[in-house]
Structure formats: structure tokens, C-alpha cells
Structure 1
Amino acid sequence: MTALTPGDDLRHWLRLCLVPGIGPERQCALLANFGLPERIFAAGQFALAKVIGDRLARTLLDHDNQAAIEQALAWAAEPGNTILTLADATYPKNLLQTADPPSLIYLKGRLELLEAPALAIVGARNATPQGLANAEAFAETFANAGLTVISGLALGIDGAAHQGALRGKASSIAVIGTGANRIYPPRNAELARELAGKGLILSEFPLDTPPTTHNFPRRNRLISGLARGVLVVEAAVDSGSLITARLAAEQGREVFAIPGSIHSPLSRGCHRLIKQGAKLVESAADVLEELHWQSTVVPTPPAPSPPAGYNGVLDAMGHDPVNLDALQVRTGLTPDALFAMLTVLELDGRIASLPGGRFQRIN
């Protein structure tokens, strides 16, 4: 059997993995004791009960998941779709080296990206404009340097990282927390379609799995497991991105973090990681150097200078969000003159307007 030609072997794997209550840990125990799924089902209830208990042994043998199996096989037969098992030669080697690789992964897109060198970029969903710009720019640089960028298709930093990487040479992988036939969040539907065409979408969850809270932290181990390292762009102290960073460290991957303002809640998670030993990053080159990665990327030319007389406003803004009243005090300009200059700077892509009448400098 090849990965693209579902047959009896895949049918047995699906039968095992689609039984309620037989999660990855129990699947691993059964595979360790009996070998391939076909042997698991041939072992008999008494032998199975010694590994997973009598109740689950009965469930495993009696549960009818034929409809779900047929759905999965039909999905895998569609162009661009693949289901890989632990026994497949093309199952990603980086995941095999982790503590709990999923028994099945559902894939949509370019399978060759699974073996490409990769770096993960994660961060806040409610990211700042500067954070989004950093994620997108870093990802594009990494992709042009030959590193596939992995993230989780969430709003904010994840989406920006995917967008930047898709513009580069090495593309992007999205590891999602739903079934591979579902798009979440809906606002990233167009991005998901682009990833399916130019990159890769990966899920360990059965088809039609909805977005549930506990699935997203679980998929984070795959984001870190597939990558050589994880870069956290922005994160609050309770961010799921810190889970990904912790898992990366446990898996022996590098952890990087971009520092930010001491006044920003979205910098505190990164600062905590740096205190715990993550490598402080100021540029994409810092990451490439730490990974000993030889890049042939041509440096991006500097952005043109802002209009004459506007540097003073940018200097007065600093790099923290600031409101109009504070800027007026710092610059001594009238509200009308200051607002006119801010409008020009925003149209020029130098600043971004934030909720609450605040503004933030970008780069």
C-alpha cells in the first residue's frame, strides 16, 4: 500500500483510531503490545483487556465506526488529500522522534513539506500591528532562506506568519485543531485555501471534529515537534504560545522570543521565556545564526524615510501605544496639525491606529 492508495491496512488503522475512548495513549499501548492494528483486532477481548481494561476492550471490538471509516477513505481519495499512519514510510521523522506522535495524520496539500527543514512561529491572537508586521516579515525571511514556516492558522500572529511564508520560497504548514475538512476560524478561510494549494494543512483529529478548547493546546506539540525551533513573537503570560514553547524545550527544540515594551501585556510572555532561557531575538538573522542555517537571502532594502518634519512625531511616539493627548503634550503641536500628520503616517504604513483612540509606531 502507498499513502495515496487507501486499502485494508488503512482501514484497520482508521477502525482503531475512530473508536471513542481509545485515545492516543491507549492506541500507543495497544500498538506496543500487539503490533499493527490488524493484530490488535485479532488478539481477542481477554488479551486486549489486559492492556486497556475489559470495558474498553469490548468497546474496541464492538463499536461500529464503518460510516466514519468510509468517509475518511473517500476524503483521502480526493486530489491533494492524504492520511498517513505511523507505519507509513512518509510519516514525518521529526514527529516520530517525539514522545507521543499521533497514530494517524490527515493532510491536505504538499506532502514533501513534511520532510523540509522548518521553524515554527506562534503568538497572540489579539496581536499588535507591530507584532503582526514582525511575524509576517520574519516568516517571509525564513521561507526565502529555505525554512518552511509552521504555525496554527489562528488569528493574529499565526495568520501573519503563514501569509509571510507563503510569499517566500519554502512555503508554510498549518497544524490545526479541527478535522482537516473544517476551516477554523472562518475569517482565515481564504488563507486556508491558499495553504492547501501552496503549502500544507495537517490535523491529527478525525474528520468533522469541531473547534473545541482542549484540542488546540494538544495540537501545539505537533507544531513544535515538526520544527527545529519555535519563535514566539508576542504572548501574554497565559498564552497558549507558552505551551508550545514549553513543549519545544521538552522535545529538544530551540526556543526564541522577541522582546517588547515593558508596558505591553503581550510582551510579558516573551520576557518570561527569555528569563527562562529562551534566546532573545532582534532580527531574523539572529535565529538563522543560532540554527547555523546558511541563508542566501538578499537583505530587504530599508523603507523610504518619512516625509520631512514627521520624524519628530515618530520619535515622540516611541514604540508603545499612545493616545492623541499624550502625543500633543510631547510634540507641542495643535490637535489639528498632529492629527493631519498622523493620518499621513498611517497612510504611509508608518503607524497604525488602535482601539481607544491610540496609535502605535510600526518599525
Structure 2
Amino acid sequence: MEEQQKNELKMWLVFYLCKGLGPKKLDLLKQHTELTHLLTFSEAQLASLGLSSDIIKQLLHPNWYYIDTLIDYLSQNAITAIYYSHPCYPSQLKEISAAPLILFCKGNIDLLCKSQIAVVGSRSATPNGIEIASEFASAMSHQGIVVTSGLAGGIDAAAHKGALAVSGETIAVVGTGVDVIYPKKNRLLFEQLLSSGLIVSELLPGTKAHASHFPRRNRIIAGLSLGVLVVEAEIKSGSLITARYAIEQNREVFAVPGSLFNPYSHGCHYLIKQGAKLTETLDDIFEELGLLVKNGLYNKVEVDNLEQVDPVLTQLGYEATSVDVLAERTQIPVEQLLTRLLDLELANQVERVLGGYIKLRSY
């Protein structure tokens, strides 16, 4: 990192760590002085700008040792800090209220400024919901759209996997530090995202999961995206919080209808009643956003060699089957079976659940 970049990052880390100093206040301060001057001004000069005594104290006495240590950690762990004035900071995100001052990123930061659509939904989604989310994500990827979600279980994971399965691009906005894998069951997906996508958080590296982090995370998911697609959600759920943020941020909201007997459809039906676009195909989304569909490219992606009977898929059903039972049924050595299951999971054909694996599609 060049010295000038490092000094600019240090300045923004001071602002980030200063409680009560957000982008709106900084924009106001820029009308009166250069932001770099805030770290050299005296107490009287800072007070003349209308800053509170608490903010003044923090600006006068930054913890430079901690900031230098943090910058070293970022460098050692391939974490990029995209601060508010950084050329890679998404202009779309600056439009929202309380935009994050810094985005900590691991992966391909070029994805930040590409066109994105968020796909969100229940952590306890049905196999049908998981398949729908996966297919929409794959279709979006074929159109060059980046699929953005939250790396949670259920719909979020299906959306990321659907994009990765067709070599698409996907962003995970997490409610932890970008170096913290949460939930643990998504370790494989986390690693895939690091090599083929991007993991983003406004939280400091090392930050553990906490309930209060996820609503904050949801506003970033909505803020990065042109629109939010909700696939299976309960009335009281984080997905509806994301949809609410999307509405507040003047983004489009799309909802997939479902069975009246499925409690995870109630949130989508509620959104549709409130004006969300009832969504059955990618055309519905692109029409609302004014995007053009590349003819014939977004149809359901067929899995290679579908005609060939896969013994693992043949022996898997929609109820969890353990690896031991599957090895006995298929007569495949466990080590080879685990490798095959990994391939199938990355192709979004099977899902690892409590008690083993389930098949996601009918073959």
C-alpha cells in the first residue's frame, strides 16, 4: 500500500472509530474545511465547526497504535478497506441514509460497482423455495447481474450457490467480520465466495455474530442492489426488514408467491399486497427495472450429463440421509463419496443439512 493511500485509510479509520461521526456530518464538515484538517485542528477550531465535546475528544486523541495494528491485520489477511471516498465505494450505496463509512472486503472488490440484485428469504426454507432461489440466481448470473445476499442458511445460501454453479458473480454481505465464518455450516460456501465472489461487512474484522448486526447488514444488501427479490419469508423476518429498507431507499421489491398452506409464503404475500411486484420469472424483474433480457440465455440451466444416472442422486431423497447410509447404499468409499457430495453441493443439486444430505431437485 502506498504511503498516501495508507494515510488516507488511517484518516477514515479515525472517522470510522469516532462515535457520532457519520457520512452526513462529514459531508456538512466538507463544506467548511478539508477533512484531513480535522486531525490537525485544535480543540477550539473543532468546536467552531459545531462538533460535540465527545467527538472533539475522539478526534484529538485517536488510538494510532490500534489503527496501525488494524491496517497491518488487514494487509496480512487480504482484507481491503473501501472507505467512503475510495473510487471503488459504490455510488448507489452513498444514496442511502446512514451509509457505512467503510466496507471491509475479502475477494473481488470490482463486483461492488456492478449491477446487483439481492435475493433473500427464510433460513428455514423449503426444498422448493431453495430451488426457486437457486434458479433465479443462476438466471440473473447468465444476464451478467451480480447476485447479492447475506450468507445465511436457506434462501441466502441457495442464491449464492445458484450463481456460483454457473460461474456467476455473487456478493455476501455478512453480519460479522469478513474473517468470521457464520454460520459454521457455510464454511465451504464461504471459501467458494473468497475465490469466486466477494464478502463484505461494515463491521471490524474479528467481530462475532450478534442479533443487532443483521438488521444493519440488511440495509447494505438493499442499498447495494437495484432491487430485492424475496423468496419465502415469514411476516416477522429479516427478509421483510431488507424489503422495508429497499422501499425506504427507493429500490424495487419483488416477491415470489407460494402456497397458502406454507407459512414461509405469508411474508411474500404481504409484500405483494403492499405493492411489491409479483414475480414468477426473470422477465418480471427485468421489465420492472427497465433491463433487457439476453434472448434465450436465462432459461433453466441443465446439469451436464443429466442423462447419465448418478448413483448418489439416485439414493438421495428429500429427507436427510447420513453419509454412512449413503455409502452403504451406493457402495462408494466414504472419501470418494464426500468428494462427490461436495461437487453436487457446489452444483446446487444437494444440500447439507442436520443429519446428512438432501436432494434439491428431481432427477
TM-score of the superposed pair, with normalisation by structure 2: 0.77
Number of the residue aligned with 1:116:
114
Tell me the CA shift for residue 143 of structure 1: 0.7
- 1:29 corresponds to which of 14, 20, 25: 25
Deviation per CA, 1:264-309, whole angstroms, max 9, x where unpaired?
22111101100000000112332233333322415237899xxxxx
Question: Separation in 1 of the partners of 2:301 and 2:165?
Answer: 17
Number of the residue aligned with 1:58:
57
Bigger-Rg structure (1/2): 1
Number of the residue aligned with 2:153:
155
Aligned to 1:211, what secondary structure does the other structure show? coil
Question: Separation in 2 of the partners of 1:51 and 1:273?
Answer: 42
Tell me the CA shift for residue 260 of structure 1: 1.0
Deviation per CA, 1:14-41, whole angstroms, max 9, x where unpaired?
122124xx1463x541452155543222
Number of the residue aligned with 2:326:
none
123 and 217 in structure 1: CA distance in 2 versus 1, 3 angstrom threshold: same
264 and 65 in structure 1: CA distance in 2 versus 1, 3 angstrom threshold: farther
24 and 271 in structure 1: CA distance in 2 versus 1, 3 angstrom threshold: farther
Number of the residue aligned with 2:294:
295
Q: Is the 8 A contact 1:123 1:156 kept in 2?
A: yes
Question: Separation in 1 of the partners of 2:60 and 2:80?
Answer: 26
* 2:234 counterpart letter in structure 1: A
Question: Separation in 2 of the partners of 1:282 and 1:276?
Answer: 17
Number of the residue aligned with 1:16:
15
Question: Separation in 1 of the partners of 2:20 and 2:177?
Answer: 15
- The within-5 A match list for 1:182-261 is 182-261=180-259
283 and 84 in structure 1: CA distance in 2 versus 1, 3 angstrom threshold: same
- 1:126 corresponds to which of 111, 124, 127: 124
The unaligned stretches of length 5 or more in structure 1 are: 305-348
147 and 163 in structure 1: CA distance in 2 versus 1, 3 angstrom threshold: same
Number of the residue aligned with 1:83:
81
Question: Separation in 1 of the partners of 2:301 and 2:161?
Answer: 20
TM-score of the superposed pair, with normalisation by structure 1: 0.77
Aligned to 2:292, what secondary structure does the other structure show? coil
Aligned to 2:172, what secondary structure does the other structure show? strand
Q: Is the 8 A contact 2:256 2:268 kept in 1?
A: yes
Question: Separation in 2 of the partners of 1:226 and 1:199?
Answer: 15
Q: Is the 8 A contact 1:24 1:103 kept in 2?
A: no
Question: Separation in 1 of the partners of 2:202 and 2:80?
Answer: 12
Q: Is the 8 A contact 1:18 1:65 kept in 2?
A: no
* 1:9 counterpart letter in structure 2: E
Q: Is the 8 A contact 1:146 1:295 kept in 2?
A: no
264 and 186 in structure 1: CA distance in 2 versus 1, 3 angstrom threshold: same
- How many residues end up aligned between the 2 structures? 312
Deviation per CA, 1:149-205, whole angstroms, max 9, x where unpaired?
000011111011000011234310001111122121111121111111100111111
Question: Separation in 1 of the partners of 2:220 and 2:71?
Answer: 23
Number of the residue aligned with 1:267:
265
Deviation per CA, 1:227-284, whole angstroms, max 9, x where unpaired?
1110000110101111111111121211000011112221111011000000001123
Aligned to 1:255, what secondary structure does the other structure show? strand
61 and 301 in structure 1: CA distance in 2 versus 1, 3 angstrom threshold: closer
Tell me the CA shift for residue 215 of structure 1: 1.1
Question: Separation in 2 of the partners of 1:249 and 1:242?
Answer: 10
Tell me the CA shift for residue 361 of structure 1: 10
Deviation per CA, 1:43-63, whole angstroms, max 9, x where unpaired?
333444564422342234235
Number of the residue aligned with 1:332:
none
Question: Separation in 2 of the partners of 1:78 and 1:285?
Answer: 44
Number of the residue aligned with 1:335:
none
64 and 300 in structure 1: CA distance in 2 versus 1, 3 angstrom threshold: closer
Aligned to 1:218, what secondary structure does the other structure show? helix
- 2:166 corresponds to which of 164, 168, 173: 168
List, as ranges, runs of 4+ consecutive aligned residues in structure 1 with deviation greater than 3 Å: 34-37, 46-52, 301-304, 360-363
